Amino acid sequence: MSGPGLVHVRRAVLAVLGLVWLFPTYLIVANAVRPAGDYDPSDAVRPPSSIGLFDNIAQAWDRTAVGDTLLSTLLYSVVSPALAVLMGALAGYAIVVLRLRHGFAWFVVIFAGTVVPFQMLLVPLFVGYSKVALYDGRLGLIIIYSAVNVPLAALVMRNFFGNVAVSIFEAARLDGASTFRIFWRIYLPLSAAALAAVFILEFTFVWNDLLFGLTLSQSPAVRPVWAELSALTTDVYAGTPVPIALAAGLVVSLPTVAIFLATQRLFTRGLTLAQF
């Protein structure tokens, strides 16, 4: 096959794959916009004949405590990734820059937490949180969200700090700076783009989490937003129209999409610098 013909085949294949990838998104948007009374499971592919999105959102708001959970979710999505990024940066700094003894072994210990499926942690976490009064508390959720996000931050920051010239650390030490001051005033500002990229990834993970929120909380003031919306989607089988649940999920997903679109250049630059 000639060069131009091969290019056309590749474009056609990519176009087909793109349509397949976007089809579920189309179904969500089309049925979230559709008025609740017009939904028919056998005809869900058909474009909506009228717009009922705002009515669907209003009904979802009335049926759930989404307003209360949004503030809690924002708290978890900002505080937990910030703590995880800071701890991951400290771990990477200690392992790479300070050349911690058995540093690679420590890194393996930190990153080994990603090997265990989160589902295996639910029962021990539930039992442990119940015994120490962390169950159904914001502090408990901040702790677990921070802990599960540290390995990714440590991996990225370890790679980033490995590319920083050792002479920078040596020169700062000759000037009398302490190891923590060097980290805080030199290495942390140098890694701002990588830190931001990891923060965006972890913000998205925490905002979209259902597993830990559903297991470790129950009151609307503490529950993450997706844990609250899960009750709405469960009620679909008990009479809640599907467009209402889809509209609620669509609106709640918008913050993560907006953050990624607004910071995509910074995100790409940060991961490129860290060679992730």
Residues 6+ away with beta carbon under 8 Å from 71: none
| 154 against 7, higher pLDDT | 154
53 found inside a domain: no
Note the pTM of the prediction, 2 decimals. Answer: 0.85
Which domain covers residue 10, as residue numbers?
3-33
Q: Are 14 and 86 found together in one domain?
A: no
Region 240-262: mean pLDDT is 86
Angle, to 10 degrees, between the axis of helix 66-92 and the axis of helix 53-63? 90
Q: Which long-range contacts (CB under 8 A, 24 or more apart) does 116-124 make?
A: 118/148, 118/211, 118/212, 119/211, 122/211, 122/212, 122/215
Q: Count how many domains the chain has.
A: 2
Q: Are 108 and 160 found together in one domain?
A: yes
Q: 192-210, pLDDT tens digit by residue?
A: 888 988 999 999 999 999 9
175 found inside a domain: yes
Distance between CA atoms of residues 60 and 269, nearest Å:
38
Measured on CA atoms in the order 94, 97, 101, 102, is the torsion positive or negative?
positive
- The answer to whether the beta carbons of residues 137 and 222 sit under 8 Å apart is yes
Instruction: Classify the phi-psi angles of 114: left when phi > 0, otherwise alpha if psi is within -120 to 50, otherwise beta.
Output: alpha
CATH code assigned at 252? 1.10.3720.10
Q: What is the pLDDT of residue 86?
A: 95
DSSP state of 2: -
Q: Are 108 and 202 found together in one domain?
A: yes
* pLDDT at residue 268 is higher than 50: yes
Residue 107: pLDDT band with limits 50, 70, 90: confident
Residues 6+ away with beta carbon under 8 Å from 113: 147, 148, 150, 151
Q: Are 23 and 141 found together in one domain?
A: no
